[in-house]
Amino acid sequence: MAPNLDCRMYEQKFPEIDTPVMVQVKSINPDTCAYVLLLEYNIEGMLSFTELSRRRIRSVLSLIRVGRVEPLMVLHVDREKGFVNLTKRRVSEDDARTCEEKFNKSKHVHSIMRHVAETMDIDLEAFKLIVSDPDSVLDPLTRRVEEINADGQKVTKVVPAISDEVKKVLVQNIKRRMTPHVLKIRADIEMRCFELDGILHIKNAMRKAEAAGNKDCPVKISLVGSPLYVLNTQTFDKEQGIETLNKAIAACTEEMDHHKGRLVVKTAPRPMSEREDKLFAEQIARLNLADDDVSSGDDTDDDGGMKFNERDYSRMEDCY
């Protein structure tokens, strides 16, 4: 049986929504859409003509052509059918540049792994085993060499295919490339409390939310602008991250209910795309810059908990 050489470039099977991906146009329906292949994930996708451009389209072929490779943005992912809806008109110059850089790096790694797998007649998936058990994959690989023995006769010996030095470097690089990346999980909530000392009750609720985290999924909650807050965590396990943020929201809600406050989940916990992460960081940076004239103070109190500074109070009081 021939080895399986078709493999996606990343650990996750599907891309996240609002993530730029590199595609190749496979076919075009003149009336409705184009069908593409997501090169990094080895799955099919569709680009509706309504998502081609923000401007009026005179000729579809001037914007898209069979065989062309270009970046598109993910609109929707159907995990059951293994299909992705895409857009071109929402791809910014920064998105395109970031996507191309990431794709070129991944393509180089993928091409090397594919060549090795084809040469050694093994599945590409075998490289996953090298991360956890390199000896079981690499040690059986051998080659034949001819040598002259002490009697002057030519003999054939079977030796390891790669030296220990090469094996060490190869395993280090494969582990570095294939070890799962940290995922950033985010949830958006609104909190209001109109009781006396309502701000302090919200502060306690935020502490309860952060206390719901653990060393594998530490929870952080940030004030964006009253009454909007963002909970986030970083983890290797997507499901664990989502579950941890849900627990944090539940703990926060319980504290708010106890003081007749109100918590509304605006966006449920979900993985953040690179674009979302960048935009969120820029938003927080803008808020901090706008409040530079207010003293910041220390972020922890005497009990080791979260300490609000003057800027945080002023933002919250804007809503009350």
What's this model's pTM, rounded to 2 decimal places?
Answer: 0.45
Burial of residue 114 (CB within 10 Å: 0-12, 13-18, 19+) is middle
Q: Tell me: pLDDT of 303 over 50.
A: no
- 71 and 109: one domain? no
- 291 and 189: one domain? yes
Mean pLDDT of 30-50: 90
- 223 and 308: one domain? yes
Q: Tokens 């919200």 sit at which residue?
A: 202
> What residues make up the domain containing 81?
20-90
Q: Tokens 């956890």 sit at which residue?
A: 132
Please report, for the domain that includes residue 45, its CATH number: 2.40.50.140
- 303 and 194: one domain? yes
Higher pLDDT, 109 or 251: 251
- 232 and 301: one domain? yes
In a domain, 11, yes or no: no
Please tell me the predicted confidence (pLDDT) of residue 304: 38
CA 235, distance to chain mean position in Å, is: 11
In a domain, 125, yes or no: yes
Of 46, 61, 90, at which residue does a domain stop? 90
- 189 and 171: one domain? no
Is the CB of residue 124 less than 8 Å from the CB of residue 117? yes
Of 55, 73, 90, at which residue does a domain stop? 90
- 310 and 242: one domain? yes
In a domain, 271, yes or no: yes
pLDDT (tens digit per residue) in 191-234: 998 888 888 999 999 999 999 999 889 999 988 887 899 999 99
